[in-house]
Amino acid sequence: MTLPSDMAHVALPTPGGPEAMQLARGPLPVPRANEILIRVEAAGVNRPDVLQRMGAYPPPKDASPILGLEVAGEVVAVGSGVSDFKPGDRACALVNGGGYAEYCTAPATQALPFPRGYDAVKAAALPETFFTVWANLFQMTGLTEGESVLIHGGTSGIGTTAIQLARAFGADVYTTAGSAEKCEACVKLGAKRAINYKTEDFAAVIREETDKRGVDAILDMIGASYFEKNLASLAKDGCLSIIAFLGGSVAEKADLTSIMVKRLTVTGSTMRPRTAAEKQAIRDELLSEVWPLLEAGTVSPVIYKVLPFQEVVEAHKLMESSEHIGKIMLKL
């Protein structure tokens, strides 16, 4: 296959609002050792992309400065040391940057085959949210069958993924969302109870729903403004996993006594700084534990809207509006 010398991509001359992004042309990336080059057919839009666009989430030094953390398409070239993929294969990947482009390199250890029956849009909707949820809710928090979990932001890409995976592995799921419509969507995905955070106190609801016991785990993307209520909502030996700070990162007034009294664990992570080996371990477990669920239809990405690549500004505006239920995708 003869590859072009240049490609279209989304450039960000200076950080700013959605209009700061511009379509541009630049050279094709070249796969390094243990990398594959994917001709991108679809890419996911994620909250970290918005933060990077605003200048608040810089890429690693050796990563592409182009926005975009998940892609799917055709493998068109491979670097030395790659044995799992060959040109012509269909792959989706969690990338360290560069996803908003016609071609993107990805570490082969962060790439997965399309689940059977999936097209590029559905496959590209998987990596960022499924890597994040698996790492934080199952590897770090240790959620298991018979336990209970509270998932904040239930209609986000992360939330819709977490609800389905938690249910698939036998947990009782409670979630928060910002409207009756969104709460209904969460229940349809498998939540036992969806709490409208605009009209209900989630800590009071959890206390009532669990007969004052609390939940075993909380997956939180709000941060400081929910911190104290999260601690109050956990059962003994419970775990709070924080993955974002939509409600701030500094909790100035929080009573930490319950951490000691209830033997709580407070943890959290972000995906981008993880080592290649850590990401590979997540990839391997997704392939063995989650890909069969996707292929069986037990779990499926919730896709809210698919926009043409050229409408990336509109995609970011939609993400910032928080109107969506599920994933926002770009199609090339």
User: Considering the chain, what percentage of its residues have pLDDT values greater than 70?
Assistant: 100
Q: What's residue 249's pLDDT?
A: 83
Is residue 170 a contact partner of residue 186, using CB atoms and an 8 Å limit?
A: no
Q: What's residue 1's pLDDT?
A: 73
Q: What's residue 72's pLDDT?
A: 98
Q: Would you tell me how many other CB atoms lie within 10 Å of the CB of residue 266?
A: 17
Q: What's residue 252's pLDDT?
A: 80
Question: What are the CA-CA distances from residue 98 to residues 38, 88, 111, 132, 250 (Å)?
Answer: 11, 20, 14, 19, 31
pLDDT tens, position by position, 21-73: 999 999 999 999 999 999 999 999 999 999 999 999 999 888 999 999 999 99
Mean predicted confidence (pLDDT) in 136-164: 97
Q: Is the pLDDT of residue 255 over 90?
A: no
pLDDT tens, position by position, 86-107: 999 999 999 999 999 999 999 9
- Fold designation for 130-268: Rossmann fold (3.40.50)
User: Mean pLDDT lowest for which of 105-114, 268-277, 279-288?
Assistant: 268-277
Q: What's residue 228's pLDDT?
A: 95
Mean predicted confidence (pLDDT) in 285-311: 98
pTM of the model: 0.96
Q: What's residue 77's pLDDT?
A: 98
Chain mean pLDDT for the chain:
96
Q: What's residue 190's pLDDT?
A: 98
> What residues contact 161, with CB distance under 8 A and at least 6 apart?
129, 130, 133, 299, 301, 302
Q: What's residue 287's pLDDT?
A: 98
The whole-angstrom distance between residue 52's C-alpha and the CA centroid of its chain comes to 15
Give the model's confidence band at 253: pLDDT under 50 very low, under 70 low, under 90 confident, else very high. confident
CATH 3.40.50.720 residue spans of the chain: 130-268
6-126+272-331 carries CATH number 3.90.180.10:
yes
Q: What's residue 222's pLDDT?
A: 93
Q: What's residue 140's pLDDT?
A: 95
Rounded CA separation 90/20 (Å): 32
CATH 3.90.180.10 residue spans of the chain: 6-126+272-331
Is residue 231 a contact partner of residue 105, using CB atoms and an 8 Å limit?
A: no
Rounded CA separation 148/332 (Å): 40
